[in-house]
Amino acid sequence: MAKYVTQRILLMLMTLLIITCICFVLIRMLPPAELPLNDPHTQVIEARREAAGYNKPYMVQFGIFLKNVFTKWDWGVSDKLYFGQDVVKLFATKLPATVCVNLYSILLSIPLGVALGIWAALKKNTWLDYTISTLTMVVISVPSFVFAFLIQYFLSYKLGWFPFLMKEGTDYFSWNMFVSMLPAVFSLSFGVVASFTRTTRAELTEVLTSEFMLLARTKGLTKAQATVRHALKNCMVVVLPAIFGEFIGIMSGSLVIEKIFAIPGVGGLYLNAINGRDYPIFIMVSCFYTAVSLLAGIVIDISYGFIDPRIRMGSKK
């Protein structure tokens, strides 16, 4: 197990390194942003660029970049959008909003999704199951910005329950801030609820028809006891890793939702960096996204082994 985990982590780091290298080289191949002439930061940035090895071979530049990242945690300074600001500090100011919104969203949606899934599975092949399954199908197919539109139009505009956009400021835990986050939270939740409903339902219906459930009933457990003690436990083998993955994923957030509700988060920063061609920010956030998605994958894989001792990780098929 330990060996497998180490192996996976090392592989992940290698993948991350290769992707970072590809991104980095591709970005450095583009002409760097023009610097304004009469700005005090210009000289500083030029000096930093000299130190970062612009005009040297790309692999040397990548070496310097890695050295800076590992020794000083220095990802460079923004040279266009947030002129002269340190990318890491900039990023750190954006992260809380994203994490906050996404955290609320999954705290709301995972219990709801799992509960709906269980409900549908227990009432399999009744109108309730059909309704839930159809709704799940519909919600999964429809993009989140359609939900965002519906919520913004009906709840914010017609009924006036919520503000249109997220409140400005950094008081992430105040009541007003919470209320202003809710439209975004709801829009994000639809997809998550649906996907958890689907996974839970599929898994639980399969478990409920398996033979050990019959055995559990034969040895005298009531239906409720058998379901809670045996079926749910087995169903969680699949659902729990997905929950872990979701928790890792809260950091990356959703570009679309952040744009619509003006959430000052990582997604917005990334979009601005793309549209404004701010390459240092772009590289940093790209690496971050890659790392988050790789990490989520690895956590999901490994947690299978920890949750279910029957699954031997890394054994040959």
Partner 1 sequence: MSVQKMQNHIEYEHIPAEKFAFVQLDANIHDSRLETKSRGYFADAFLRFKKNKSSLIAACILIALILFAIVSPLISPYTINDKDTVYTKSPPFIASIADKGWGIFDGGSIYNSQNDLAYSYWKGIAAETGMDPVLRIVDTTTTYVKYRGQDKASNTYTLDINRYYATGIVYRVFKYSEFEKLMDWQNETGIQVIYPYVEPKDIYDISDNPNIWYQVSDGKGTPVLDENGDFIPAYSTNTAIEAVPYESLRIEGDDGSYIYSIKKSGALQCRICYYNYYIYLNGHEPMYIFGTNSLGQDLFGAIGIGARFSIIFAILVSAINLTIGAIYGSIQGYYGGKVDLIMDRIADILSGMPFIVCTTLFQLHLAQKVGVVTAFLFAFVLTGWIGMSALTRKQFYRFKGQEFVLAARTLGASDRRLMFKHIFPNSLGTIITSCALIIPSVIFSETQLTYLGIINLQEFAGTSIGTLMSQGQVAMTSAPHGMFFPSIFLSLLLICFNLFGNGLRDAFNPSTRGVDD
Q: Which is nearer to partner 1, 13 or 60 (CB)?
A: 13
Question: 221 is written with which tokens?
Answer: 């457990």
Q: Which is nearer to partner 1, 55 or 141 (CB)?
A: 141
Q: Nearest approach, Cβ of 199 to partner 1 (angstroms)?
A: 7
Classify the phi-psi angles of 265: left when phi > 0, otherwise alpha if psi is within -120 to 50, otherwise beta: beta
Q: Which is nearer to partner 1, 232 or 294 (CB)?
A: 294
Interaction between residue 59 and partner 1 (CB under 8 A): no
- Per-residue DSSP letter, 229: I
Interaction between residue 10 and partner 1 (CB under 8 A): no
Torsion of CA 110, 230, 225, 199, to 10 degrees: 30
- Per-residue DSSP letter, 36: P
Q: Which is nearer to partner 1, 2 or 29 (CB)?
A: 29
Interaction between residue 37 and partner 1 (CB under 8 A): no
Q: Which is nearer to partner 1, 74 or 129 (CB)?
A: 129
Interaction between residue 47 and partner 1 (CB under 8 A): no
Interaction between residue 30 and partner 1 (CB under 8 A): yes
Q: How far is CA 215 from CA 96, 118, 281, 295, in A?
A: 49, 21, 58, 39
Under rule CB under 8 A, how many of the chain's residues touch partner 1?
Answer: 49
Q: How far is CA 186 from CA 99, 149, 161, 246, in A?
A: 15, 11, 13, 16
Interaction between residue 80 and partner 1 (CB under 8 A): no
Q: Under a CB-based contact definition with an 8 Å cutoff, are residues 277 and 182 in contact?
A: no
Q: Which of 299, 267, 283, 272 is nearest to 100 (CA)?
A: 267
Interaction between residue 142 and partner 1 (CB under 8 A): yes
Residues 275-304 that bind partner 1 (CB under 8 A): 275, 277, 282, 286, 289-290, 293-294, 297
In sequence order, the 6+-apart residues with CB closer than 8 A to the CB of 161 are: 155
Cβ-based neighbour number of residue 175 at 10 Å: 8
Cβ-based neighbour number of residue 147 at 10 Å: 20
Instruction: By CB under 8 A, name the one of 83, 145, 247, 306 that touches partner 1.
Output: 145
The 148-167 contact track toward partner 1, x by CB under 8 A, reads -xx-xx---x----------
List residues near partner 1 by CB under 8 A.
11, 15-16, 18-19, 22-23, 26-27, 29-30, 133-134, 136-138, 140-143, 145-146, 149-150, 152-153, 157, 198-199, 201-202, 205-206, 255-256, 259-260, 270-271, 274-275, 277, 282, 286, 289-290, 293-294, 297
